[in-house]
Each structure stands twice: as structure tokens, then as C-alpha cells.
Structure 1
């Protein structure tokens, strides 16, 4: 393990927390860091258990997987595991470890010792077993930085370079609480957040917003949320943003069709949305993962630093089988680099 010198120029340093040690986090990190598709100026700083990293490396080599990063060449902040972890089995020990690693990684970035944060997947069940009652990593990051956060998924099409963005209005809440959480103020805030992100790549982006009900309510015949809340809110937002193209509310079952076409075509579609606002978690995540599962990146907006993560979970069913794909982790690292420069 190399000694990490906090006095170094940390503009190129990306802090990477290992995620749940019972999952695939360390495996995909070691695989991703060996990729030729990463920017060569990136200096990864791993936060987790050194022995766990070395053991994962040894296991991968023993299974004939050689295109991985050698941990002897990596900067590592060693926070040892307190008890033995069984791959594929999450418990309070794995939850405690992943929580500590993320907590320390976040503070490293907040202290200016790294320029951005990349997080491997954690288990919310394991966190709760360890006594950490957060809905997810996004919520912990918001608390540690005292910021109002938003969850956005971004991906770049390998077919044509088009950037696909979906922001969630509500995140980790039960479906029966979505309606009560949707307010005019929240929708406007999320539209502002989505617009600001899309403007990093296009001056006048096209924004779409999904309806809440089937057929976007069909003029009140299938629910009144569109008529009473969503349409009036969009109209008010348009007055404050007269130069922005916004469509919606669009029936949820067709809202992502143009995005799917733009993703798959060899040439870019001029009428494809640059950003889509989904009103609840699965409404946005189902099309995102169907369209761009290996390339999509979970990006937390609103923090005082850039944070990205793969769009998948801990994959406990394939932990210790050494078959996990690293494409989303590569995308997460590259996007953290791009967005933090």
C-alpha cells in the first residue's frame, strides 16, 4: 500500500468507498481501475479494508482474472473489517463496515483531500441491521453535508455520444407516500435542478416531465393530480424559464420512448429530451435500467462535491463468483472525473 500524502495536489484524486463487503463492490472497483477507458490522470483513493482488497485481488487472480488493478499500486485508506464477512450474506457487520467507509470517504472529500466521491453499492438492509436508519447513501450524504440533495441518473450512449438524463422527484419512499410528498415547491425545485445539470452540456435543453397517473390522468378521468398540481406547476415554471423547452406531463408509458430511440440510433435525434423528470423512484429507474443499465450512473446533485455511483446494487447473488461486470463502475468513475473538472 502506498502512503497517501494529503499535501498532494488532490484535483486528480477521486475517493472511492468500497460499498458492502459482502457484495461485488471491491471486485468491480479492481476491474474498473484496470480499464483502458479511464482517464489516465485519475488518482483513485480507496477507502475500506486493505486486507479485504488484497484478498479480493488474490481471489480474482486465482480464478484467472488478470486484467485488474494491483492494490500495491493504489492509495488506500485502511479501515479494517472487525469481523469475518461471508460473501452474499449481509448482516450488521457488513452494514457497519460499509457505513464507516462511506462516512470517512465523505469527510475526506469535504476536507478537500479528494476532488470527488465514487461509491460502490451498499445494502440498506445491512445498514438498518447495524443501526443506521438511512434510506440510502444519498440521504446520508445530504445529512453529512447539510444539503438538499437530488438523485439523477446520467449515461452517455456508446452509439452516438448522446447524454441521457433522468432526475427523480421523490426517491426512497413507499409508493403510497409519493402523492403526499409531491408539492408545487418540490416539482419546481427538481425542474430547476435538472435544468442546471442539463445546461452543463447544452445551453437550451429540452425537458420532459412524466405524469403521475396512467395516461397522465387523461384530463382528470384517471386521477386529478395532473390537473390540480402538475400542469399548473409546469405553467408557473415556464413563466420563470421562458427560454426553456419543456413538455409534459407525458403519459409515463411513452415518456422515455424518444430517449430510447436516441440512445440506440447511430445518429442523434434532434427531438430527444435532454432531461426527464420522473415523479417517483421506479417510474424513472425502470426505463433508465432497460435503456442504459451498464452505462447509467447515479449522480447526487446538490452536494458541495461530485458524487457518482453505479446504477446497480450489491448483486449478492453473484458475490464471490467473480463474474460481475464493471461497465457501470467505469462510467461512474469517468463521470465523477468529468463533472468535477
Structure 2
């Protein structure tokens, strides 16, 4: 299928995600928002029937500001149900929606991917053993060094708040085993390239792994044994970057709170967190609905809302679409900046 549209300047491919969650709802809400840039060629990947059913159900609840699937460009994939099990079937469908969306976005140089939320357990039940969409993207693109970056643009100050994760979807007990100087260097390389979009001389902070960044070995040895030296060695090769750390994790994001709400506050360009929740808790508390998950290091831009499937509120018409709106806006902004893109 050829989706070329000469009247549009940028393609944004949207994979619907798990259809038993809030993905279809927040997509239909977001595409009707006045915050979405004009002249975007949207391509949805999912079930046309499911999207239409979601639309009609939400309309029956009294919701008005919704995009009508009949007016949308949809790559219709009807995946056979598995064992009449909704959770398993939706997990299976969402996996293939993502795979097809990746295939489509690869066809066009000026394109970006926005992904709806998926359920990792449902993927596993359906036989797709990946710890998240990031890992599928990396494998599909043949890229080893990718980064899970959470970014948010403050509606108060316009400052972009960035937190990159050194490790992602792994058990907490595995984090110290995975962290190495080489890993930290590879993530800082990615982070530098991303932050250079917004600043010629970025200021990067690095959170310590242990409480109080180890307190000189009293509360943990990682900082003293190798992390300090790793940061010094990387900074010697990247003298245009100011690297601060390892910093005590309990106060590392304090300056982010100020920069988010005060135009005159001292700004930094990004923080490298050692593990998933260390970075995500302050990110979500500070940026709330404005936080966006993006995968850096791919040959195209990929963003996603920073929340999950919301099974508990699915179908109620109350799902917040702001993070999906921000994901689309971020994808457009980043794709339009050619310095972020590899050729594809």
C-alpha cells in the first residue's frame, strides 16, 4: 500500500497498541486536538473495525471531540483471535501492529513513529517474549545502542526536561550487574547527540546508583570503584559537555522542579538515571501528563505516551490524552530537526 501524500510535509505512523486498553481512545482524542500541528500525514496501524467501535462507544457516552475513523488513513490489520482469549488476542494484535508500523515508517525518510501503550504480560502470553516496544524497535532496526529517553516540554517555561535511563526493563536486582563503564559511555554518547539539538554546550547530570551516591563507599561501592572514573574518562573525550556527578539520587532532580516552573531558574539539559524507576518517578511527578517516552539511536524518531494501557479505565471515556498529544508534538519537532536523523 502506498501512503504517499504530496500535500503533507511529514508522516506520523501511529500504532494503536493494545485495543483492550486506552490506546484507541487517546489516539482518537489526540487527533482531534487543536494542539496537533497541521499538515501532518497520519497513518494509523490497527483494526479499522475496533477503532470504529471505540468511536461509536465514546460518542454514546457523550464525548464530542473525537476524530472519526472514517476520516482517517488506516492500515487495517485484522488479526485472528487466539483461543477466544481477549488478553492474549489483544497482546498478539498489538505486537503485529507495531511490527507493521515499523515497516511502514522505514519506507519514508521524512516520517516518525508514535506507539500506543501495550501490555508486556499479554505479549508474553501470545508468545512474543520482549520486555517492551523499545527492544522490538532495536531488533527490527538492527541497532544495538538505543536509549530510553523521557522528555517533556514545560507549558510554563518552554524548557525541555530530559531523563535518559542507563538500564531499562530489568529486575532491580539485575541493575548493578548490568551497569558498566562501557554502558555509561554509550548512553552518554546518545544523550550528547540528543541534547546538542537544543544546546551547543549541554550540561548533563548523572545520578548515582546508591543512596547519597555511595557516600564514598559507606553506602555502596559502585560510584567509588568505577562510576567516578567512567565519567571523568568520558568527559575528557567530550570537553564541550559539562558533566556533573555522580550525584545523590534523592536530590538530583531538585533543579528540574525549579526549571520546570521558573523561567529564571538555572537550567540543565539532561539527567542520566541508573535504572527505570529512579528516572521515571521524578519525571512523572514533575512533568505529569506532559512526559513522553522516546527511543533515541534509531534511524527514525519514535515516541510514546509515558503511561500504560489503563485497563481499569478503558471504555469509560475518561482517559487523559495529553501525553499522546505531547508524543505526537515531540515526534514532529524532533523529526523536523535533521540533526537527529540517520538516513532511512
**In the alignment, which residue of structure 1 is the partner of 2:49?**
51
Superimposed CA distance per residue, residues 225-281 of structure 1 (whole angstroms, 9 cap, x where no aligned partner): 00111100011011101121111011000000000111122x1423x3210000001
**In the alignment, which residue of structure 1 is the partner of 2:210?**
213
Question: Which of 58, 61, 81 pairs up with 2:59?
Answer: 61
Q: Which runs of 5+ in 1 are unaligned?
A: none
| Distance change (3 Å), C-alpha of 1:69 and 1:19 | same
**In the alignment, which residue of structure 2 is the partner of 1:143?**
139
1:1-341 correspondence runs (5 A): 5-9=2-6, 11-83=9-81, 91-112=87-108, 115-148=111-144, 149-265=146-262, 267-270=263-266, 272-341=267-336
> Matched residues in 2 for 1:11 and 1:297: separation?
23
Provide the TM-score with structure 1 as the length reference: 0.95
| Distance change (3 Å), C-alpha of 1:119 and 1:268 | farther
- Contact 2:207 / 2:248 at 8 angstroms: preserved in 1? yes
Number of aligned residue pairs: 334
Q: Secondary structure at the match of 1:283?
A: helix
> Matched residues in 2 for 1:124 and 1:240: separation?
38
Provide the TM-score with structure 2 as the length reference: 0.94
- Contact 1:22 / 1:85 at 8 angstroms: preserved in 2? no
The 10-residue stretch of structure 1 (111-120 or 12-21) with the greater mean CA deviation from structure 2: 111-120
- Contact 2:110 / 2:335 at 8 angstroms: preserved in 1? no
> Matched residues in 2 for 1:59 and 1:85: separation?
25
RMSD of equivalent CA atoms: 1.7
